[in-house]
A and B are shown apart, each in its own frame.
Chain A
Amino acid sequence: MKPKKLINIVAIVLMVGFAYAAINIAPVLSDEENTYLGGLVWTNFLDEGLAAAQEQHKPVLVYFWAVWCQYCELFETETLHDSKVNAALKNDFILVAVDLDENREVASRFGVSYPPHELFLDEYGNIITRIPGYVDADTFYSVVSDVSSNYNSNSNSNSNSNTNLNSNSTDNGDDQVEEAVI
């Protein structure tokens, strides 16, 4: 056999094998109803999430992501998969995942320009706080635990907070500063 032909055959076999393997190995991130990021199940619809939040009196984490977003993937594997973070999100939050490619309306409503972006809302849809971009598990966990502990203590008194123009209510947490991360 001519070596050029051999090279061609080897190259083609490699490429076809690669193409096949790649498709079969790729993990499923999302279907039409739910999204499966970071070992958690998220609803794809903000309304559904808010309704559930009002029922259960829990804060909402809205996670803006996209299929092509490589820092989202890092956030999912390193931060969301972290056992502390994972448990806290599962128990204390209503999880909504917004694919920026599909739901630009929600993104622009909250001024989100690029994924990943993590937005914490109260059950009425007011912004509690936000994290633009990727953060590691420790940093993220300190925010998550801040939000949930403040939420439990404030949720009764603060229920009409949607009339408050200044919606940045992390200010309440001065006395609850977590153990220093540093």
Chain B
Amino acid sequence: MIDGNIVLYLSMLTAAVALFGLLLKELRNDDVYMGIVPWASRATFVLLGFDLLLLTYHFITSDFTIMYVWQFTSLSLPLVYKFAAVLAGQSGTLLLWSLIIFMCSTWIAETKKWDNPFVRQVQIVTIITGMFFTVLTIMESPFATIYALDSTLPPGFIPQDGNGLNALLINPWMAIHPPTVFIAYGVATIPFAAALVYLLTGKREWEAFARQWTRLTWLFLTFTIALGGLWAYLVLGWGGFWAWDPVETSSLIPWITITAYMHAASQYRKDKNVFNIGAPVLAIITMILVVYAALVTRSGIFESVHAFGDSPSGMMFLIFIVAAVLVTIALVARKISHEKDKDNDNDNDSDSGDKNEDEDEDEISIYDYLSKKSIQFYITVVLLSILTFISFWGITFPAIIQLVKHMKVGVGVEFFNIWGYPAFIALMVMMGYCLQRGDYKFKKQSLIAVSAATVLLSFVSIGPEFHVMDHTSNFWTAQPFLYKLIGSISLLSMMPPIMYVIGAALDRMFVDFKAKPSGKVLARKTGINIIHIGMALILFGAVMSVSFTTSIGADVYLNQIGEVVFLDDGYAVKVDEYLPESGSGVYPGDKISDVKRNPSAYPSTQVSGKISEIQSIGSYTGFKLSDGNDYIWVATGGADIAVGDELTVSGSVMRDFESSSTGMVFDAIIFASDLSSISAGTDTSQKVYLEVFKDGKRIGKGVSEYVVYKQGDATHPMVDRSLTHDVYVIFQGASSYSIPLTILIKPFVNEVWIGVILFSVGIMLIAGSEMNLRRRREFE
């Protein structure tokens, strides 16, 4: 078998060759190696691609001599999750990340050619970044063997089964979530590289060059966040899709900055003096925050379900962040001083002109300012930056306090909601104003009206849960004054901005369609409009579903199955069927049927199952162990066992055994050397088929499931969706006499998913409208 590590080293070598050739061309204008640069670049991509396939192959064939494979898979894992498990840990994802970077780099090389100096410079930055991640992959190689990591293991030792995939990751959404993450992260390298080259050289084509890459990054970051949210909604089973967990939050932060970047870039495109520093800085910050997200997700600083132990890459990520920040500050300082020099030169000629402009600005009213597109976008970018900072600080300062003071402090959901809400509402008002068509006077009146309505409604309270912070919660009473102040804002205040945005965007769409522009222009305009409608829907759905969820507890006794059980507030529930442990045949270890069919292949074995019968066999205690598909007899020297116990048995298999004292004959029997309890290690599942009623009408139907896998337990709640609400039922395992259920009625959750779909369709329309066009215009 080919060693994946060698392939990794080879890819470093080819990347280095490409880099060397490009640098020689750049610094000495020496073409000697330029001929092999494209080949070296392609080779790097192919080698890394091969390595990922190789790793996948190891997963499919369950090669447990490879530590990473052993760690994240097991024999009982279904095939599709063996594919998914390739990206379950740090090492695999680093490999994919490097691969995506070199894929982009090769793509650019193939489509844009090397003769353009700007493209070559972008390549240099891209390849250096790609090599950085390849080094990380080598440091935490997914191909490291168990022997290399544990020298006490005897050579030739092969573990019988893998450690298994975390139960929470066994879900279709989790299977496609990681690839989207690392496509987004990898593609973000291109806008980053383009912006860096621009700050270094001042080449203005950077924005056009990075445009489609930026949209691709945005699309995949959107997918990443949405899929993560969907997974949390369906798997964590506590009824939320967003909890401001650091991992979620850290993936949102680059999304906000890249959104800010896209707004800045749209102005820069029209006037190269607007956002000429802000735009590239935002592109670079996005990449830095992407690495920060990787640090948060995978390192030991803040851990979460995504973190699988300490890793040396944490330090490397920190180094990348610090280096990138320092380089950016230096480049920006240089650029500003250059521009000051230029301004001074110009000032000699047009000193008076500048002053006049200043005076003009002092005289015109605030609305005149707001009517300038560049100012509107400036405020938008500032508001997005404030949201970025709030999210960043919320996940960062607890870690700083923990490092410095060795104390853990709490940052709850409320922290983000309270600080984020006012900024977000301001952003929505600005969004509506930017989108609104029509003459200046009407826009001005609308802005005043919407702002006034927003402020007034902030004070209108209908019920305790109609506030940014729920006044009925125990949490509310413990809050300091400042939080109570902001937390008292009425949620009705979100309605005017939301309606403003949707109204303005629909109006634009209507007018755009009537004007019958070319297909491409229409696609672009429609894309922009529906993305903003999507944002309004997401805000609406998020706030409504979080603030107005109804929760009803139910405890259905086992003898009430099939009956309607009446609950509070007119709700009722009926358990149609309860299936405990339907997951037969998924016990850990060897399959009993395999062992019985061919005992000689299993001189020693480990099987698990349930005891169905106990009988003494001479001086031994014998018991029948069943895994649901088949059974086998086990002989043991004596243990405290009972029918119904679930056990894992290790021992040797004896064929055609005849008990001399009792005359019993066994085709195969296991003489147990060890018995252990498997209360937490069995793959079992409990399913509840149920219906939920409100005032006699059925509002939801489905299955709620509780499963225990090898690596822990997971809940698969019942979700019955509709446009106005989801009926969501959590089941966390039955007790011996009852089935406890938590029924949540969550309003307008699907508006969030519709918003996400609008985001995706919108950005695809925008990107599609510029396909092929841009490249020829800018680079021929």
Contact = CB atoms under 8 A, between A and B. Distances in A.
A22 B647 CA distance: 51
Interface size of A as a range: 35 or more
A171 B712 contact: no
Contacts of B366: 3
A101 B399 CA distance: 12
A71 B238 contact: yes
A8 to B, nearest CB: 7
A68 B736 contact: no
A110 B680 contact: yes
A104 B235 CA distance: 21
A32 B402 CA distance: 11
B407 A138 contact: no
Contacts of B419: 18, 22
Interface in A140-155: 142
Contacts of A29: 408-410
B394 A111 contact: no
Contacts of A70: 240, 243-245, 412-413
B677 A113 contact: no
B243 A71 contact: yes
B345 to A, nearest CB: 21
Contacts of B167: 113
B553 A181 contact: yes
B379 A7 contact: yes
B645 interface: yes
B679 A132 contact: no
Given A7-B378, A19-B397, A113 B166 contact: yes
B677 A114 contact: no
Contacts of B736: 170-171, 173-174
Given A31-B407, A113-B166, A167-B677, 19 more contacts: A7-B378, A18-B389, A25-B482, A68-B302, A70-B243, A74-B413, A77-B478, A101-B302, A111-B711, A113-B167, A114-B236, A114-B712, A131-B732, A133-B715, A136-B553, A165-B645, A166-B642, A166-B645, A180-B557
B677 A15 contact: no
Nearest to A15: B389
12 contacts: A3-B366, A7-B378, A15-B386, A22-B397, A22-B419, A27-B409, A70-B245, A111-B713, A114-B236, A133-B236, A165-B639, A181-B554
Given A133-B237, A136-B553, A165-B677, A73 B409 contact: no
B401 A23 contact: yes
B50 interface: no
B375 interface: yes
A77 B474 contact: yes
B680 A111 contact: yes
B375 A4 contact: yes
Interface string A152-173: 0000000000011111101101
Contacts of A177: 557, 737-738
B713 A22 contact: no
B769 interface: no
B555 interface: yes
A28 B407 contact: yes
A142 B167 CA distance: 27
Contact of A181 (B389, B395, B555): B555
A117 B481 CA distance: 32
A165 B675 contact: yes
Contact of A68 (B304, B708, B735): B304
B679 A67 contact: no
Nearest to A112: B712
B571 to A, nearest CB: 10
B160 interface: no
A177 B736 CA distance: 11
A164 B715 CA distance: 28
Interface string B225-259: 00000000000111010011111000000000000
B617 interface: no
A50 interface: no
A11 B473 CA distance: 32
Nearest to B396: A19
B620 to A, nearest CB: 17
A57 B244 CA distance: 40
CB-CB nearest 4 A-B residue pairs: A113-B712, A111-B680, A70-B243, A26-B409
Nearest to B565: A182
Interface residues of B, number: 91
A91 interface: no
B434 to A, nearest CB: 15
B641 interface: yes
Contacts of B244: 70
B651 interface: no
A110 B681 CA distance: 10
Contacts of A68: 245-247, 302-304, 395
Contact of B555 (A7, A21, A142): A142
Contacts, number: 195
Interface string B669-691: 00000010101110000000000
Given A133-B715, A135-B732, A31 B473 contact: no
Nearest to A172: B736
B382 A27 contact: no
A126 to B, nearest CB: 10
B176 interface: no
Nearest to A168: B679
Interface in B363-380: 366, 369, 375, 378-379
Given A15-B389, A23-B397, A165-B645, A135 B742 contact: yes
A2 B358 contact: yes
Contact of B303 (A25, A66, A131, A138): A66
B386 A14 contact: yes
Contacts of A95: none
Contacts of A98: none
Contact of A73 (B413, B482, B556, B679): B413
Contact of B409 (A28, A99, A163): A28
A50 to B, nearest CB: 19
B626 to A, nearest CB: 16
B462 to A, nearest CB: 22
Nearest to B245: A68
B361 interface: yes
Contacts of A28: 407-410
A66 B412 CA distance: 12
B305 A22 contact: no
B349 interface: no
Nearest to B244: A70
A54 interface: no
B394 A22 contact: yes
A88 B708 CA distance: 29
Interface string B553-569: 11111000000011100
Nearest to A38: B474
Nearest to B735: A170
A56 to B, nearest CB: 26
A112 B714 CA distance: 10
A174 B409 contact: no
B740 A139 contact: yes
B344 to A, nearest CB: 18
Nearest to B481: A25
Contacts of A18: 389-390, 393, 419
B410 A73 contact: yes
Nearest to B402: A67
Given A28-B409, A70-B413, A132 B393 contact: no
A82 B244 CA distance: 24
A135 B677 CA distance: 27
B304 A66 contact: yes
A127 interface: yes
Contact of B644 (A66, A73, A166, A170): A166
Interface string B640-684: 111011110000000000000000000000000001010111000
B694 to A, nearest CB: 15
Interface string A1-44: 01110011001001100110111011111111000000000000
Contact of A30 (B303, B408, B412): B408
B732 A133 contact: yes
